[in-house]
Structure formats: C-alpha cells, structure tokens
C-alpha cells in the first residue's frame, strides 16, 4: 500500500550555537510528519499509532557538525530518522531537521560519523546520509534501512502499521565521487576497477559477502595494505 507523507509547513530558521570554536547559523526546517495518508480510503493515522521506531536511536545525542565553509557546531543534540533520512533535533518543543545537508561535511553523533552524499539508485541519482565505516583510498559506507509495513502485507497478526528495520546497504565511494551500491561480489569488483588479479582472487577465495559489515571492513584494510 502506497503511503504519502504529509508535511503541514516548512519553516526556515537560523540557529546560533555558542562555543569556543568558530560557529555560524545553520538553516533548519520543520520535518515532523503529523499524519500518514493512504491513497485508498484517505485514512489519516497519527504517527504515534505506528509500532516500532524509524530512528537509529530514539534519544537525542550530543553531536558535532562541520560544514563545507569551515564552520563548526558542537554539542548539538541530534538523532537520525532513518525512514525520513533526516537528522533531527528539538527547538521550542518542535521536531526540526537540518535543512541543507549538502552543506555539511560530516556529523559525529554518538561516536558514529555520518556524511551526506549523492548515490546512484535503480532509476536516477539521489542523495542521503551514510555512516562512514572505513576511510582509506575508498570510503566504505553504510546506509540504514527502515520500511513502513502495512496491515495488508500480513507480516504481523495485529492490524497495525509498523516501522521495521531491514538489512542495511553498503556502498563504496572513491575520492569526491558518487557512492556506489555493492550488492554482490561482481558489483564489488566492478566498482573497484581497475584492480589487480590478486585483489579479485582475494574476493573470490575469501567469499566476500557484500552484506557482511565485518568482512567488508577487513577487505578494505587488506586493500589499503596490499595495493600501495
């Protein structure tokens, strides 16, 4: 069942964070979705009625933001809404999100580093948040996934909507380029071209599972140690 997100208003804000390092105003917008609308029957449901969680961590965590113009913002409490692909925070009792994520170099939240970068989808080029798992010649990136399951899918015995975490996706990014989804050994080899036969043999002999975070990190370490 197709679900449309309804946004009642978008407001741009300027937010000043005081600190011992350079900081500046950062554009913000209201991102709270109050209702979900079903295309069939026009049924409105409050988000609080949905089981599960769309967040990586529901609690807001002290975070550090660096921007492309060199500005830095510290001690800003954020949380990552995976379903909306937004970094959220509270202001005046409202849930807000960073309005211009493409101006952010990186976000350090709860010990995890996030970047906002373009990536190729099945149909076009999009952009979104990724967690950085490894940085060498290539960046190994992790993209979290949350689906909204409807009662019609009969996944659960009750008749409620539910946010459900599904397996994350892993991407590789070289330099300032686009992030590429690696969903098989074949695509991993293709994204890394040109590479030596030794690397290809390593991938195949070790049966690298492109859905296994630990194996991918170990492979990236191998790449950096053996391809200089």
Reported confidence tier of residue 26, pLDDT bands at 50, 70, 90: very low
Chain centroid to Cα 130, Å, comes to 4
Q: Tell me, what's the pLDDT at 140?
A: 98
Using the predicted structure, report yes or no on whether residue 43 has a pLDDT greater than 60.
Answer: no
Q: What is the dihedral of CA 126, 131, 133, 136, to 10 degrees?
A: 50
**Residue 60, strand partner residues:** none
**Cα–Cα distance for residue pair 105/68, rounded to 1 Å:** 5
Q: What is the pTM of this model?
A: 0.78
Q: Which of 37-41, 43-47, 101-105, 162-166 has the lowest mean pLDDT?
A: 37-41
| Residues 114-140: tens digit of each pLDDT | 999 999 876 788 999 999 999 998 999
Using the predicted structure, report yes or no on whether residue 63 has a pLDDT greater than 70.
Answer: yes
Do residues 177 and 190 touch, judged by C-beta distance below 8 A?
no
Mean pLDDT of 42-56: 75
Q: What is the DSSP string of the chain?
A: --EEE-------EEE----SS----EEEEE----EEEETTT--EEEGGGSBS-SBS-SS-EEEEEEETTS-EEEEEEEEEETTTTEEEEEETTEEEEES-GGGEEEEEETTEEEEEEEEE-SSSEEEEEEEEEEESSEEEEEEEEEEEE-GGG--SSS---EEEEEEEEEEEEETTS-BEE--SHHHHHHHH-S--HHHHHHHHHTT--TT-HHHHHHHHHHHHHH--
Q: Kindly report the backbone phi and psi dihedral angles of residue 205, in degrees, each rounded to the nearest multiple of 5, phi listed first.
A: -70, -30
Using the predicted structure, report yes or no on whether residue 200 has a pLDDT greater than 70.
Answer: yes
Mean pLDDT of 54-80: 94
Q: Tell me, what's the pLDDT at 47?
A: 67
Mean pLDDT of 176-199: 93
**Cα–Cα distance for residue pair 37/152, rounded to 1 Å:** 15
Using the predicted structure, report yes or no on whether residue 5 has a pLDDT greater than 80.
Answer: no
Q: Which of 48, 64, 74, 65 is nearest to 163 (CA)?
A: 48
Using the predicted structure, report yes or no on whether residue 30 has a pLDDT greater than 90.
Answer: no
**Cα–Cα distance for residue pair 183/181, rounded to 1 Å:** 6
Q: Tell me, what's the pLDDT at 226?
A: 82
């Amino acid at each position: 069942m197709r679900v449309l997100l309804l946004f009642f208003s978008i407001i741009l804000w300027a937010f000043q964070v005081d600190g011992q390092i350079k900081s500046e105003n950062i554009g913000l917008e209201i991102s709270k979705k109050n209702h979900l609308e079903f295309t069939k029957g026009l049924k409105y449901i409050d988000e609080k009625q949905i089981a599960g969680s769309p967040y990586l961590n529901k609690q807001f965590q002290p975070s550090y933001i660096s921007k492309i113009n060199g500005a830095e913002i510290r001690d800003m409490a954020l949380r990552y809404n995976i379903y909306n692909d937004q970094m959220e925070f509270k202001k005046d009792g409202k849930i807000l999100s960073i309005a211009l994520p493409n101006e952010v170099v990186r976000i350090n939240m709860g010990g995890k580093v996030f970047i906002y970068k373009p990536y190729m989808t099945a149909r076009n080029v999009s952009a979104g948040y990724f967690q950085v798992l490894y940085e060498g010649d290539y960046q190994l990136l992790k993209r979290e996934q949350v689906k909204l399951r409807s009662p019609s899918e009969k996944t659960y015995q009750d008749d409620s909507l539910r946010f459900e975490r599904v397996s994350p996706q892993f991407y590789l990014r070289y330099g300032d380029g686009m992030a590429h989804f690696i969903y098989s050994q074949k695509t991993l080899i293709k994204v890394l071209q040109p590479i030596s036969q030794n690397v290809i043999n390593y991938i195949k002999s070790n049966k690298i599972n492109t859905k296994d975070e630990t194996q991918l990190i170990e492979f990236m370490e191998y790449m950096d140690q053996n391809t200089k």
